[in-house]
């Protein structure tokens, strides 16, 4: 981008004179003067033209400023109201107390793994859609009768289950990338690329949710937070989300021949 230096010349050097300058024996012209027959006199033509120019200029600036103000208001409103067409209804909000629950801290086992899987439910995180092109130009996973699409929250839970299993196995130095785990579906393999993807997916999901609930110290004077001490968070009603998914189960997938 080129740069330039703007030099302001003295008023007399610009070739213009102030509109309100009154010489000896002269008086300022008004709009009424310009509408009179005297306005056609050579001495008054230039001054009337300047008055007309000033009026038009002021009107133009006023309209431009008004238009810019309207643009800003519309732009600010649209930036705060993003709408993505979706078959998912508006999920109500609820207050949820974050408290540690021992059953969710248990080591992996057939019972504890099944408990984690129950969070996702029979949909496995997918819904079936008869009319997918009304909501997405991108195809879903082929099903008999329609297409299946994943729901982001359940994808996040899937990733959390996977990372939980990988962490416990790595902790015991018993990490196996191929064997099935009791209580987990076959899609929960612990291949390094899968785990890395899940870490990145959860990173984005947490930032997207943007929960800014305040968390307090674990004890007076402590420098540690007690993030599971009953803080109330504003959350989407999980039971309503599960109900929607359970009522729109994915279509069976065609058999592979």
Q: Do 123 and 243 belong together in one domain? A: yes
Q: Do 115 and 196 belong together in one domain? A: yes
Q: Is residue 97 part of a domain?
A: no
Q: Do 129 and 243 belong together in one domain? A: yes
Domain boundary among 79, 112, 137: 79
Q: Which residues of 142-165 are buried (b: 16+ CB within 10 A; e: fewer)?
A: ebeebbbbbbebbbbbbbbbbbbb
Q: State yes or no: pLDDT of 156 exceeds 90.
A: yes
Distance set, CA 113 to CA 80, 104, 221, 231 (Å): 40, 10, 38, 27
Contact 212, 63 (CB under 8 A): no
Q: Do 72 and 113 belong together in one domain? A: no
Q: Is residue 89 part of a domain?
A: no
Domain boundary among 46, 79, 112: 79
Q: Do 74 and 113 belong together in one domain? A: no
In terms of residue numbers, what domain contains 188?
102-209+239-247
Sign of the Cα torsion 151, 152, 155, 160 reads negative
Q: Do 135 and 243 belong together in one domain? A: yes
Q: Which contacts of 161-164 are long-range, i.e. CB under 8 A and separated by 24 or more positions?
A: 161/113, 161/116, 161/117, 161/120, 161/188, 162/188, 162/190, 162/194, 162/195, 162/198, 163/195, 163/198, 163/199, 163/202, 164/108, 164/116
Helix axes 152-171, 192-209, angle to 10 degrees: 130
Q: Phi and psi dihedrals of 66, rounded to 5?
A: -65, -45
Q: Is residue 84 part of a domain?
A: no
Query: Residue 173: what pLDDT?
Result: 72
Q: Do 156 and 68 belong together in one domain? A: no
Strand order in the sheet with 146-150: 126-129, 146-150, 141-143
pLDDT per position as a tens digit, 77-115 = 545 567 888 999 999 999 999 999 999 999 999 999 999
Mean pLDDT, residues 230-237 taken together: 96
Q: Is residue 1 part of a domain?
A: no
User: What does pTM read for this prediction?
Assistant: 0.66
Q: Is residue 23 part of a domain?
A: yes
Residue 167: how many other CB atoms lie within 10 Å:
13
| 165: Cα within 13 Å, side-chain hemisphere | 31
Instruction: Please tell me the total count of domains within the chain.
Output: 2
Q: Do 74 and 118 belong together in one domain? A: no
Tokens linked to 225: 């937070």
Kindly give, in sequence order, each residue whose CB lies less than 8 Å from that of residue 167, ignoring residues fewer than 6 positions away: none
Q: State yes or no: pLDDT of 33 exceeds 50.
A: yes
Q: Which of 73-82, 155-164, 223-232 has the lowest mean pLDDT?
A: 73-82
Tell me which residue has tokens 């029979």.
Answer: 122
Q: Is residue 86 part of a domain?
A: no
Q: Is residue 46 part of a domain?
A: yes
Q: Is residue 232 part of a domain?
A: no
Contact 140, 132 (CB under 8 A): yes
Contact 121, 249 (CB under 8 A): no
Tell me which residue has tokens 């909000």.
Answer: 93
- How far apart are the C-alpha atoms of 47 and 179, rounded to whole Å? 93
Q: Do 189 and 70 belong together in one domain? A: no
Contact 33, 44 (CB under 8 A): yes
Q: State yes or no: pLDDT of 18 exceeds 50.
A: no
- How far apart are the C-alpha atoms of 194 and 169, rounded to whole Å? 15
Mean pLDDT, residues 72-76 taken together: 54
Contact 100, 228 (CB under 8 A): yes
Q: Do 139 and 183 belong together in one domain? A: yes
Tokens linked to 85: 């067409």
Q: Do 124 and 243 belong together in one domain? A: yes
Q: Do 107 and 205 belong together in one domain? A: yes
């Amino acid at each position: 981008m080129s740069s330039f230096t703007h030099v302001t010349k003295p008023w007399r050097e610009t070739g213009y004179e102030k509109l309100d300058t009154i010489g000896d024996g002269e008086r300022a012209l008004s709009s009424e003067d310009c509408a009179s027959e005297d306005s056609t006199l050579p001495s008054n033509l230039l001054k009337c033209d300047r008055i007309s120019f000033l009026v038009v200029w002021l009107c133009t600036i006023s309209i431009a400023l008004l238009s810019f103000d309207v643009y800003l208001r519309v732009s600010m409103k649209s930036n705060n109201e993003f709408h993505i067409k979706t078959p998912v209804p508006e999920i109500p909000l609820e207050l949820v107390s974050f408290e540690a629950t021992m059953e969710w801290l248990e080591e992996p086992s057939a019972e504890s793994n099944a408990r984690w899987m129950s969070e996702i439910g029979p949909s496995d995180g997918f819904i079936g859609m008869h009319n997918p092109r009304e909501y997405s130009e991108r195809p879903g996973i082929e099903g008999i009768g329609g297409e299946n699409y994943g729901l982001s929250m359940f994808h996040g839970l899937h990733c959390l289950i996977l990372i939980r299993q990988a962490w416990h196995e790595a902790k015991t130095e018993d990490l196996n990338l191929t064997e099935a785990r009791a209580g987990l579906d076959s899609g929960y393999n612990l291949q390094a690329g899968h785990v890395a993807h899940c870490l990145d997916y959860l990173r984005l999901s947490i930032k997207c949710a943007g929960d800014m609930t305040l968390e307090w110290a674990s004890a007076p004077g402590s420098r540690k937070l007690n993030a599971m001490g009953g803080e109330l968070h504003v959350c989407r009603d999980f039971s309503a989300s599960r109900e929607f998914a359970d009522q729109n189960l994915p279509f069976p997938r065609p058999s592979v021949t």
